[in-house]
Structure 1
Amino acid sequence: MKIGIAFPNTIPGASGRLQTEWAVRAEERGFSTVSATHRLRYPGHEPLPVLAAAAAVTSRIGLSTNILVAPLTTAEVLAKEAATVASLAEGRLVLGLGPGVRADDFEAADRDFGRRAQVFDGQLAELARLRGKEGAGILPGPVPPVLVGGLSANAVRRAARWADGWTAPGLEPELVAPTVRQVEEEWAAVGREGRPRLVALSRYWLGADVAEEAAGFVRDYFGVLGNEAESFVEKTPRSPGRIREQIAELAAAGFDEIVFHPTAARLSQVDRLADAVLS
């Protein structure tokens, strides 16, 4: 099981300098990947620029979006931007994509929230086309590998048909494990060779000194869910033992990698997670 870590790029107040320091420390401590997520109408840094900056200060660690809301832009713009970051990173980028779930992000981008699923299907088909000869004349390099996020039957179909694998949402292992089998079965059913790349997500915080800050962020970020936001606070792993248990559960489910999303914008969270799971 590979262990990755996400940037604090959607945590309000986290500076640009912290993003690059985070990437450097994550590489030093041996994480497999450093990942950036995406919200438009929420404070924070956009994922692809953060990953471009990370590419400039690292040389080995994998870089990924997990996830980027593809229908907020066009397939051609996304392909050009992703291929640019992949070129800067010398092939270390993986593009985790999803159709999005927040209507306010689409309103801010002047995009049609109701048509996002159809748009996303078209984008995946276009990205697949641009990964071939068609992209050679307009892109600075190859479109990076693509993972599709989501738990729906459509997400399973998209991952098997258009992508290199699937990335699960940050829910409890028992909620995402069944979809692993579905993705693998659909992958085989459509005649794909090999096996899909499977990535899981989890939130975390470590240390009493960040507990209030971390819980406040989780509560605010999931505030759109109303009272259910409090359950996200309660279910966030916050001890080395619980984090290791979650890794074991997700490994048993068949995942190749788990990316831990910090809920406190403190560089100490990189070291504490590394001490808990990489030592």
Structure 2
Amino acid sequence: MSIGPRAGVSGMGVGMTLPVMEPDITPETLHEWATLIDTGPYSCLSFGERIAFDNPDALTLLGAVAAWTSRVHLTTTVVVPQLHDPVLLAKALATGDRLAGGRLSVGLGVGGRDEDYAAVGADLADRTMADLAERASVLRRVWAGENLTGATRPVGPAPHREGGPELLVGTHGVRTLRHSARWADGLAGMTLDADVSGTDTLFDVARAAWAEAGRPTPRLTTSFWFALAETSADPRGQVHTHLRHYMNWIPASFVDALAPTAGFAGTLAELRALLARFADIGADEVQLIPTSDDPRQVELVAELLD
């Protein structure tokens, strides 16, 4: 599914994630970031979902960023369908797609936090790829106008684009990726340590799995945390502080062991070189995940991409 032109490095799109997982994030800050991203050279504005945390609700935020922006693509990285009624989720995403004029891509994943399932009374037994595939099918059937509820008419609205937004699978795993070739349009990946080689291997698996399933070439995206030396006296420490806050469901000792190599911490020139390496392996898009809410990061990376 084509979703329009992309700006970035060597033909690869570069997206920016809203700082929704930062502590005490304000609507004003989110609005400022969304405006800067929309008016910059970014290929997408992305944001993720958590339940048992103090981040904004992803589906409510989708409506806001659809109104705050007019150009940039919007991507959820990722929504966990098992935490929602699938018909209501289809309605919310179709509404977001209409509000955004068809600028929506939906990353779907099973999630890795038991506490999010517990917070909404979801069944951990549903945290399977088979269940994810079934829920993705429900989304598409609702978007196609099927009446799945027995009501007097199908649940709408229809999405802006016929067939609805593209669906990308959020995963790190090879088995999960192969299973998703049956229903997903591509990969909403994430590399913990900005590993180009490991991402290249995962991309190769995806290409082979989609080909074997007789599907069109998958859209291949990935993401990683970043901190810039130009905006932080201690970028590696900034990543560490962010992870201590964000990864609160994991023992601190594990986070402390991960932090020294997690994501990217360095200069703009080093970031550009890293992005070029992702472009070389055929990434369609890389989404940068901020580790602070300083809007100067959006402006500096925009200058790098221009």
Superposition TM-score, scaled by structure 2 size:
0.84
Q: Is the 8 A contact 2:16 2:289 kept in 1?
A: yes
Aligned to 1:102: 113
Structure 1, unpaired ranges of 5+: none
Distance 1:196 1:126 in 2: 21
Aligned to 2:41: 30
1:100 Cα offset (Å):
0.5
Distance 1:113 1:54 in 2: 31
Q: How does 1:40-59 map to 2 (within 5 A)?
A: 40-59=51-70
Partner SS for 1:13: coil
Distance 2:238 2:197 in 1: 28
1:245 Cα offset (Å):
2.7
1:137 Cα offset (Å):
3.5
Distance 2:198 2:142 in 1: 34
Distance 1:59 1:210 in 2: 35
Aligned to 2:205: 182
Q: Which amino acid aligns with 1:17?
A: E
Q: Is the 8 A contact 2:144 2:158 kept in 1?
A: no
1:234 Cα offset (Å):
2.2
1:146 Cα offset (Å):
0.7
Percent identical residues: 29
Structure 1 vs Structure 2 CA RMSD: 2.0
Distance 1:71 1:246 in 2: 35
Q: Structure 1 residues 140 and 158 mapped into 2: Cα distance closer, same or farther (>3 Å)?
A: farther
Aligned to 2:83: 72
1:142-179 Cα shifts (integer Å, max 9, x gaps): 23111011122442134311111111123222232211
**1:254 partnered with 2:282:** yes
In the comparison of the two structures, how many residue pairs are matched?
A: 277
Q: Which protein is richer in helix relative to its size?
A: 1
1:23-78 Cα shifts (integer Å, max 9, x gaps): 11111121110001111111211222222111112111101101112211122111
Aligned to 1:217: 242
Q: Is the 8 A contact 2:169 2:180 kept in 1?
A: yes
Distance 1:124 1:183 in 2: 18
**1:269 partnered with 2:297:** yes
Distance 1:213 1:181 in 2: 33
Distance 1:173 1:13 in 2: 33
Distance 1:120 1:154 in 2: 14
